[in-house]
């Protein structure tokens, strides 16, 4: 099918590339000229495993095109995906200005009926708002004979695994009451349903709420584990043992029960805020989710709190190595990353940060620029030069195996604070290091005597 995609960020780009890869002809539009020029040369502006290959193949085969010209894309695509940002407004509600601007633009240029597919995460009722906005603009243009069908098709991809998630989705939610739109979407997604049918049809409002419900459920699991981890620390229990103990129950499962330094990223915090706003403004406050949010805000300070406890005289003049800047592994995305809370708190205290991330170094530079108290290091181990302590913010694979003896010889205060519980506390302590994880019992550092069994 001829398809267009507006908004070529994490969602739009991966969606466009996977649609092209199964044979659809896809035209992508973004207002960011630099990004589009880069993409026309086949260079992805984001880090996603598998994306460079998809771009190269589909650009070469002419199934994928990038442009800043909205009109051409509107003429091209019978079905137009909207994947622009929906950032939080000051009151926490989702800002729909980008979605509505694209809607008006489509209505202005369309010459035949069009199906608009809302991929962006939007509050319940947005599909009706988009339909009304399109009708209004069509009326203004004297094009009342044209029809706009609106489909709510929320995206569930995980950054860092986005290509895989779009190629092999668990489910595809299609919210619409329009039969023709339903048939079009079934055709577009048929190549992704060869193994079994993944399409779940429902009304627009339920589809919109499904996206928020999914993120709310996942965020709740994380905050619950973080609260239990903090309690485990007080009680001298080991949250990692507890995690395994409950994860083995199939009703619970192992996903999203890892304790850590709080959730971040472009979705969970923002979507939680937007859902809380929707709920409150409909007279149905979500008390449980308010707590989930509060727990997370506290937890994002946990690494700094642990540092402060270790250094009661303050952190001024300290040099802190940080491993991991992205909000999670396999992405360069630092939106609302816990590493940012930590770095900013350290800078306020007068400490210096020596940081490394396998993918997010340029993003960090873009956000914070050049400053004396931020040293971006070329390798993981370079961060240890003249560092007093090490803090781990992101669970990149490259951090899983380390030489604790080396760490003990480099870190001046022999301290590791691990926001992701990557290591075995006994093994770390055996190298003479202080090791503070999340919800782990504290094993005091000790040195195995030479020759001991």
Taking the complex as a whole, the smallest distance from the CB of residue 17 to ligand NAD amounts, in Å, to 13
3-state secondary structure of 310: helix
Place of tokens 């380390």: 402
Rounded to whole angstroms, the Cα distance separating 215 from 213 reads 6
- Looking at 81-141, list the stretches that DSSP marks H as alpha helix, in order from N- to C-terminal side: 97-109, 126-140
CA angle 332, 218, 89 (to 5 degrees): 65
Taking CB under 6 A as the criterion, the residue among 21, 30, 395, 418 binding ligand NAD is 30
263 belongs to the binding site for ligand NAD (CB under 6 A):
no
Contact by Cβ (8 Å): 391, 322: yes
Taking CB under 6 A as the criterion, the residue among 26, 36, 83, 117 binding ligand NAD is 83
155 belongs to the binding site for ligand NAD (CB under 6 A):
yes
Q: Is 393 a catalytic residue?
A: no
Tell me which of 166, 261, 267, 364 is the catalytic residue: 267
- 3-state per-residue secondary structure call for 124-147: CCHHHHHHHHHHHHHHHCCCCCCC
Taking CB under 6 A as the criterion, the residue among 29, 79, 257, 374 binding ligand NAD is 29
- The residue (of 85 and 437) whose beta carbon lies closer to ligand NAD is 85
Site string for ligand NAD, 386-425 (x = CB under 6 A): ----------------------------------------
CB neighbours (10 Å) of residue 73?
25
Tokens standing for residue 301: 């300070």
- Write the DSSP assignment of 5-58 as a string of letters: EE--SHHHHHHHHHHHHTT-EEEEE-S-HHHHHHHHTT--SS--TTHHHHHHHH
Binding region for ligand NAD (CB under 6 A) out of 9-17, 290-298, 312-320, 394-402: 9-17
- The residue (of 160 and 439) whose beta carbon lies closer to ligand NAD is 160
- The residue (of 102 and 124) whose beta carbon lies closer to ligand NAD is 102
212 belongs to the binding site for ligand NAD (CB under 6 A):
no
134 belongs to the binding site for ligand NAD (CB under 6 A):
no
Taking the complex as a whole, the smallest distance from the CB of residue 112 to ligand NAD amounts, in Å, to 20
Taking CB under 6 A as the criterion, the residue among 5, 10, 65, 357 binding ligand NAD is 10
Distances (CA, A) of 375 to 338, 366, 382: 18, 14, 10
Rounded to whole angstroms, the Cα distance separating 89 from 104 reads 21
Which positions are annotated as active-site residues?
267
Binding region for ligand NAD (CB under 6 A): 6-12, 29-32, 35, 83-86, 98, 101-102, 120-121, 155, 157, 159, 266-267
């Amino acid at each position: 099918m001829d398809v267009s995609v507006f908004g070529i960020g994490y969602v739009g780009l991966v969606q466009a590339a996977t649609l092209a890869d199964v044979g659809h002809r896809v035209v992508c539009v973004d207002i960011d000229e630099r990004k589009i020029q880069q993409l026309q040369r086949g260079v992805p502006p984001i880090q996603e495993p598998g994306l460079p290959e998809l771009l190269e193949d589909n650009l070469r085969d002419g199934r994928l095109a990038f442009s800043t010209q909205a009109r051409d894309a509107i003429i091209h695509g019978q079905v137009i995906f909207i994947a622009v940002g929906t950032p939080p407004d000051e009151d926490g509600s989702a800002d729909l200005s980008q979605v509505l601007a694209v809607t008006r633009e489509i209505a202005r240029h369309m010459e035949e009926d069009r199906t608009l597919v809302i991929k962006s995460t939007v509050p319940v009722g947005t599909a009706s708002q988009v339909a009304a906005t399109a009708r209004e603009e069509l009326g203004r243009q004297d094009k009342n004979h044209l029809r706009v069908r609106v489909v709510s098709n929320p995206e569930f991809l995980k950054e860092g695994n986005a290509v895989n998630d779009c190629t092999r989705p668990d489910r595809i939610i299609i919210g619409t009451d329009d039969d023709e739109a339903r048939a079009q979407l079934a055709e577009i997604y048929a190549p992704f349903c060869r193994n079994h049918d993944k399409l779940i049809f429902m009304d627009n409002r339920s589809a919109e709420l499904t996206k928020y419900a999914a993120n709310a459920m996942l965020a709740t699991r994380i905050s619950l584990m973080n609260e239990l981890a903090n309690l485990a620390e007080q009680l001298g229990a080991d949250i990692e043992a507890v995690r395994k103990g409950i994860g083995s129950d199939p009703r619970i499962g192992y996903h999203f029960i890892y304790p850590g330094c709080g959730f971040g990223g472009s979705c969970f915090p923002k979507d939680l805020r937007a859902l809380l706003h929707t709920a409150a403004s409909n007279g149905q406050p979500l008390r449980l989710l308010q707590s989930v949010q509060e727990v997370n805000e506290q937890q994002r300070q946990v690494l700094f709190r642990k540092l402060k406890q270790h250094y009661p005289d303050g952190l001024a003049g300290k040099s802190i190595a940080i491993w991991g800047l992205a909000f999670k592994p396999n992405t360069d995305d630092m939106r609302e990353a816990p590493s940012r809370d930590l770095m900013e708190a350290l800078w306020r205290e007068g400490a210096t940060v020596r940081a490394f991330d396998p993918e997010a170094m340029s993003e960090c530079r873009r956000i914070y620029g050049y400053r004396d108290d931020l040293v971006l290091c070329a390798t993981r181990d370079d961060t240890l030069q003249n560092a007093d302590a090490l803090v781990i913010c992101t669970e990149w694979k490259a951090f899983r195996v380390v030489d604790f003896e080396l760490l003990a010889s480099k870190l001046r205060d022999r301290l590791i604070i691990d926001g992701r519980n990557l290591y075995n506390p006994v093994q770390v302590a055996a190298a003479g290091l202080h090791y503070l994880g999340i919800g782990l019992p504290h094993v005091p550092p000790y040195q195995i005597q030479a020759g001991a069994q």
